[in-house]
Amino acid sequence: MIHFPGLEHLPALPVIIPLIAAPFTIVMRPGRTPWLWATLVSWVTFACTLLLLEVVWHGGPTEYKMGGWAAPLGITYYIDLANALVMMLVAAMAAVVFPYAYFSVKSEIARAQSPAFYTAMIICLTGLLGVAATGDAFNVFVFLEISSLSTYALVAMGARRDRRALTAAFNYLVMGTIGATFYVIGLGLLYQATGTLNMLDLHERLAGQDNKVVEAGFAFIVTGIGLKLAMVPLHLWLPNAYGFAPSAVTAFLAATATKVQIYLMVRFIYTVFGFEFPFLEVALNAFLILGIVGMFYASFVAVFRDNVKQMLAYSSVAQIGYMLLGISFGTVDGLTASFVHIFNHALIKAALFMGVGCVVLRIGSSQLTAFRGLARRMPWTTWALVLSGLSLIGVPPTVGFISKFKLMEAAFQTTTLIPPLLVVLLIGASSLLAAVYVGRLIYTMVLEQPPENAPAIKEAPHAMRVALWIMVIANIYFFFFTDLTVGVATQAAEALMCSQAGCGGAY
Amino acid sequence: MADQHKDHGSDPGWADKPWFVRLFSWGLYLACALAAAAGFFWKKDHPHFEAEGFPVFFAIYGFIMFFLIVVVGQHLRKLVGRKENYYEERE
Amino acid sequence: MPELLNPGVIFTLGAFVTLFLAAGLRRYFMLAVIAFSATVTWQMDLGNYGNLQLFGETLTVTRYDVLSRLFVVVFHIAAALNVIYGWHIKDRVENFSALAYPGAAMGGVLAGDWLTLFVWWEMAAITSVFLVLGPRSRSTYMAAMRYLAIQIASGVLLLAGIVLVYRESGSLMFEALALRNEAGDLNFGPLLVFIAFGIKSAFPLLHNWVQDSYPKASITGTIMLSVFTTKLAVYALARGFAGTGELIWLGAFMTLFPIFFALIENDLKKVLCYSINNQVGFMVVGIGVGTATAVNGAVGYAFGNIIFESLLFMSLGAAIYRTGTSKATELGGIYRTMPLTMTLCVVGALSISAFPGTLGFVTKGLIIDGVAEEHLMLIWLILLFASAGVLEHAGIKIPFFTFFAHDSGKRPKEAPPQMLIAMGIGAVLCIGIGLYPDPLYALLPYQDQIAGYHPYTSYHLIEQFQLLLFAVLAFVVLQKTGWYPAEVPSVNLDFDWLYRVPGRAFLGWVITSVAAIWHLVWDNLVRFMEAVARGLHHTHGPEGALSRTWPIGFMALFTAIVLGIMLIVTFLI
């Protein structure tokens, strides 16, 4: 593969391409052009990440020095299987959601704003990919802010449909900024202790340094990222932000944003810090407890939400609980389960939010009442929602089942604060809660009658339906073919655990 | 068969006519007598339990058990019986 | 033919196709699907098919052997009878379930590994809940939710058990499990699987979902429900736990307690639901004994029971269809205008009571003989007692109170032709196999054993006639003396009372008290936060926007608290 010209720049391409493409978007004529351009960019980026994943999978981790400057002075991109998988996931979600966005955006956002909208989407994509790609801790902060700032703007664009989007965006802005600030404060403390910002370097120089500065740095970083990934009880910004953002934005963010943060958390815990630090155990125990609390608390809230978008947003908070749970086991299996769920949950939530987007487009509301008798009015959308809803519960043959299975399997071999069997039962019990809120949705759609005076409506446009069903089929496909998910995730988890156990060749 | 309730209309069906009830009853008595009598003529070759060797064991057991089920079982109603909308009032 | 195409898959695919068909076309299509699936099964040789690779494990989608074959055959018959019986049903959801639910049950029966079993196990739960939901009123909604929760709980337990079993044995093949190890202690993984099976087969105290949910479904829905879920569980028990001693006592108890509840029950649909429990009890005893005769009896009885229990449900259903009630107090006397339905119902009643010449006689005898061969005297007596009980509630009560008893004054029309046809086929099977059982015996799993078995020996006949005729005699005596209890409209409490009344009240109490505490804490917190914010505002900023900004302050406070805790804990360690 090496003989492709320009291939040596491959690790940087997924970040560079959208970064360069973004400014062009803003000057385009409002309407169809920016959308086509954004779609093209997302596809090219997706192709690059696929290629990158292929290279890393078969050729091992790769390293790319920005501008040829060596670490620790220069900025380095390290791509191993973990980031390659997350990058591929982010780009894939963009490649599906961007084409989907057109009609949804047309109805939800002023035409004049459309270049700005797609610019923000592409910038957000850049930021998320950058966070995943970079091996420099400060560079992470930069990309974090790039993605966050564009996200604030995107959420605020929901204001045309519902003014509360502005408050949601503002809250998100404040909380996001606090998170980022905590992160950068923590990083500053680590810099003070080590004098480097490169992740690998940090790991080496942190070894043996168990002092107050490092401890404080750790606490700040974990809290900062915890806020960004909506760990209970730092999740309060998320439901409103997802609930009021334009549908396409919600679909994209729910599938990607928190996933990248989870990846970042894993990266810090396993690569930068590592098990030598006694406080790591504390963090893992905190994840265990907060994860379980989140699984239940957020699911209970979701059961009682009457707005489907918000219900799904709370469900996302609960699902983050599963991912934290996987991390908290501190085993290869646990980490694998987390990565698998990152991937699978992205598929599930993208499909669900895209389905809801179709309903918002045609009926104009995401209240549960709007879904009454939807099976008769929009059968394609309904069945897509039903299937992805079943996936969310974890019913085979869908990816949700694989996630739950791997997580339970991992839970069985751990020794944590809580007995493994209880953890398994808790996972099962929270799945029942998911069955309840998804069941409520399915019941409303399939078994209730449409309102008496409901006007006849058309199905969602083809572009949206096709994108939606691609996601639904992916939900089933990756149940049968788990090489990409379970296979890659296992290798990625092994590499991460290995790096912190010191078997050389970190990443 | 005998009827414990009063009939509604003036059109007793064939099953309520006295001749049928009489026929049914006597037929049953005869069949019972035959079955009991047969127990004395045919014995099981290798009985698993002693009781099986007793010619009218099944007849007595069947009669008494059925009797018991009905006579004892109806008192259960006092314990668990409730008005028909018991649960509806509570749900 | 693709390897994966087994009856379960065919039915399921067919079910999804029905969703897109016009109402009038669906029933023909459904029959065609059943016929096609039967043909595929007919041409299938015994063996394993459809191996899939997942997680590096081999899954066997289809294991067609002597045990699963019998269930697949009878499930086909039952599915076909249901479609015929419900020829007039145009409801899309019910048509869907009429294929998907039997499909799930057959998929489960054919599953060669635990994961496939789990998949179909959950499918059976999900596809059948639509039947309970069928009439779509509030009470059915609540019952359906209870039903779904219990069924899914069974699935979750099964999954947990599977994970444990897999961890211990390293194999996913669905084979027999040992409930206890050599030392006699319970193995935890198999125990979970056992309980999961137990919930679905309605073990005592786990049984109540049957009486709770089944009668709430539509007529045709109830008939379908009565066949598949519990028999799938019986199959699973026969496969996984044959010869497990605990089952003998569980089964014996299962045959007993429904007798008394059925006696005093006024709703005849519920009487038949209790009868399901009682019948499954017989099968569970047979499985628990585990000898060739007993297991032959258990699965043979499952076959027979599906036919005659359906026949009883169908004839009662026809009466309900024509009169609109299933209460014993409101039925009665309708034999005048529904003589055919009454006759067919009596055939079912004779059959379930195991009168010689019927399907019940040639199958139940195997179980009782199996118990006798093992010299389990007490169990043997219990089963004979339970047989008298069956005669009471299913053999006499159902036909007597539906069609005879006091005259309700109702003069309904005879059942519609499609119902008569379905019931007729059932009745022909009851008597046909009863007189000539060889085709059924050829399907039983232990052929060596069944070869020497003859149901129509003189002693066997005498024993059965004595037992049944004298029990009928007791009924006649009780009727003549007026000791037979009159039916009264009532609802009888069962184990579900525990979770429906005190459990619910307790839950309500917990929720209200938690809410009260929460409000107390929350209100004070809010008041405190407002005071702080107002104070800050007073000194630092202009008026207004206060109510909008404090939630952010609240979130920020949470963040500060988390950071503080993290700092303290990391510092202290």
pLDDT, tens only, C253-306: 999 988 988 888 888 999 999 999 999 999 999 999 999 999 999 999 999 999
Same domain, C418 and C511: no
Please report residues of A whose CB lies closer than 8 A to that of C554.
Answer: 236
**C137 interfaces chain B, CB cutoff of 8 Å:** no
Characterize C413-428 residue by residue with b for buried, 16 or more Cβ atoms within 10 angstroms of its Cβ, and e for exposed. ebbeebbbebbbbbbe
CB-CB neighbors (< 8 A) of C145 in chain A:
439
* Residue B32 counted as domain residue: yes
pLDDT tens-digit map of A108-118: 888 888 999 99
| φ, ψ at C437 (rounded to 5°) | -80, -5
- How large is the ipTM? 0.82
Assigned domain for C455 exists: yes
- pLDDT for res C135: 67
pLDDT at position C449: 82
Structure confidence at residue C535 (pLDDT): 61
Mean pLDDT, range A89-111, rounded to an integer: 92
Closest CA to C426 of C128, C85, C27: C85
- Which of these three, C210, C230, C250, is where a domain ends? C230
Burial of C325 (C-beta count, 10 Å sphere; 0-12/13-18/19+): middle
Residue type for C80, please? A
Any domain includes B29: yes
Neighbours of A103 (CB within 10 A): 19
Residues of C near A (Cβ–Cβ under 8 Å) read 52, 54-55, 93, 115, 118-119, 122, 126, 130, 133, 136, 145, 148-149, 152-153, 156, 159-160, 163-164, 167, 548, 551-552, 554-556, 558-559, 562-563, 566-567, 569-571, 573
In chain B, the number of structural domains is 1
Contact of C40 with C48, CB cutoff 8 Å: no
How many domains is chain C partitioned into structurally? Answer: 3
Sorted by sequence, the CB contacts under 8 Å of residue C72 that are 6+ apart come out as: C7, C41, C64, C106, C109, C110
CB atoms within 10 A of CB A59: 10
Could you give the C-alpha distances from C531 to C304, C525, C527, C537, in angstroms and in order? 75, 10, 6, 10
Check residue C122 and give its pLDDT: 87
Interval A174-224: pLDDT, tens: 889 989 999 999 999 999 888 888 888 888 888 878 788 888 888 899 999
CB contact under 8 A, C552 and A432: no
Q: Please, are residues A126 and A142 in contact by the beta-carbon 8 Å criterion?
A: no
Query: Any chain C CB within 8 A of the CB of A314?
Result: no
Contact criterion met (CB < 8 Å) for C406 and B7: yes
| Statement to judge: residues C328 and C223 lie in one domain | no
Does residue C307 lie in a domain region? yes
Q: What is the CA radius of gyration of chain A?
A: 22
SS3 label, residue C113: strand
Same domain, yes or no: C155 and C177: yes
- Burial grade of C319 (CB within 10 A; 0-12, 13-18, 19 or more): buried
DSSP assigned state of A9: G
Sign of CA dihedral B2, B4, B6, B9: negative
The DSSP code sequence of A198-210 is BHHHHHHHHTT--
Q: Does residue A368 contact residue A306 with C-beta atoms inside 8 Å?
A: yes
Report the alpha-carbon distance of residue B78 to residue B80 in Å, rounded. Answer: 6
Orientation of helix C7-18 relative to helix C66-85, angle to 10°:
20
pLDDT at residue B8 above 70?
no
The pair of three-digit structure tokens given for residue A233, joined into one six-digit string = 């009880």
C195 and C306 in a common domain: no
Residue B5 lies in a domain: no
The CA-atom distances, in angstroms, between A230 and each of A235, A259, A263, C555 are 4, 10, 13, 12
Select the more confidently predicted residue: A422 or C14.
Answer: C14
- Give me the phi and psi of C563, to 5 degrees please: -60, -45
Question: So what's the pLDDT on residue B84?
Answer: 67
Q: How confident is the model at residue B7, as a pLDDT?
A: 46
- Distance of residue C572 Cα from the nearest chain A Cα, in angstroms: 9
Taking CB atoms and an 8 Å limit, are B66 and C500 in contact across chains?
Answer: no
CB B58 within 8 Å of CB B39: yes
> Which residues numbered 234-263 in A keep a CB inside 8 Å of some CB on C?
234, 236-237
Instruction: Examine residue B39 and state whether it is found in any structural domain, yes or no.
Output: yes
Whether C248 and C226 map to the same domain: the answer is no
Are residues C215 and C313 both part of a single domain?
A: no
Of C156, C160, C573, the CB nearest to A282: C573
Dihedral angle at the C-alpha atoms of A175, A176, A177, A183, nearest 10 degrees?
Answer: 110
Please provide residue C61's backbone torsions phi and psi, each rounded to the nearest 5 degrees: -70, -35
Strand partners, C58: C53
Show the tokens assigned to A335. Answer: 């980490």
Interchain contact C470–B (C-beta under 8 A) = yes
Residue C43 within a domain: yes
User: How many Cβ atoms from other residues are within 10 Å of residue B79's Cβ?
Assistant: 9
**For residue C490, is it within any domain?**
no
CB A165 within 8 A of CB A158: yes
Round to whole Å and give the CA distance between A320 and C147: 29
Residues 6+ apart with CB under 8 A from C349: C312, C394, C395, C396, C398, C399
Residue B9 counted as domain residue: no
- Subunit partners of chain A (3 or more CB pairs within 8 A): C
pLDDT score of C39: 93
- Which parts of chain C have pLDDT scores under 50? 1, 537, 539-550
Q: How far is CA C108 from the centre of its chain?
A: 14
Asked if the structure places residue B53 within a domain, the reply is yes
Q: Evaluate whether residue C487 is within a structural domain.
A: no
Residue finishing a domain among C187, C210, C230 = C230
Residues of C whose CB is below 8 A from B1: 400, 404, 476, 479
Confidence of residue A259 (pLDDT cuts 50, 70, 90): very high
pLDDT winner (highest mean) among A74-78, A387-391, C23-27, C52-56: A387-391
Residue A103 amino acid letter: F
pLDDT digits (tens, 9 = 90+) for B32-88: 999 888 888 877 777 778 777 788 888 999 999 998 888 888 887 777 766 666 666
Q: DSSP E strands: which ranges in C363-444?
A: none
Q: pLDDT band for position A73 (50/70/90)?
A: confident
Decide which of C179, C198, C230 is a domain's last residue.
Answer: C230
Task: Confirm whether pTM is higher than 0.80.
Answer: no
Q: What burial letters (b/e) apply to A328-357, b meaning 16+ CB within 10 Å?
A: bbbbbbbbbbbbbbbbbbbbbbbbbbbbbb
C442 and C557 fall within a common domain: no
Sign of the CA dihedral with A99 first, then A101, A104, and A106 last: negative
C88 and C196: one domain? yes
- The candidate with the shortest Cα–Cα distance to C396, out of C466, C312, C318, is C312
Q: Which residue of C has its CA nearest to A437?
A: C145
Which residue range is the domain that position C202 belongs to?
1-230
Q: Please give the residue range of the domain that contains residue B46.
A: 14-90
Instruction: Determine, yes or no, domain membership for B8.
Output: no
State how far the Cα of C384 lies from the Cα of A209, in Å rounded to an integer: 79
Place of tokens 């205008």: C337
In a domain, C237, yes or no: no
Say yes or no to pLDDT of A503 above 60: no
Residue type, A23: P
pLDDT digits (tens, 9 = 90+) for A450-469: 888 878 888 889 889 999 99
Residues C468, C518 within the same domain: no
Determine whether A470 is exposed, middle or buried from the number of CB atoms within 10 Å of its CB (0-12, 13-18, 19+): buried
Residues C204 and C276 in one domain: no
| Residue bearing tokens 């109805």 | A107
Say yes or no: C82 and C113 in one domain: yes
pLDDT digits (tens, 9 = 90+) for A136-173: 999 999 999 999 999 999 999 988 888 888 888 988 99
Residues C361, C329, single domain; the answer is yes
Residue C143, domain member (yes or no): yes
Residue B7: inside a domain: no
Q: How many residues make up chain A in this entry?
A: 507
Q: Is C246 inside any structural domain?
A: yes
Beta-carbon separation of B65 and C471 below 8 A: yes
Structure-token match 């059109």, residue found: B11
- Which bin fits C443, alpha (ψ -120 to 50), beta or left (φ > 0)? alpha
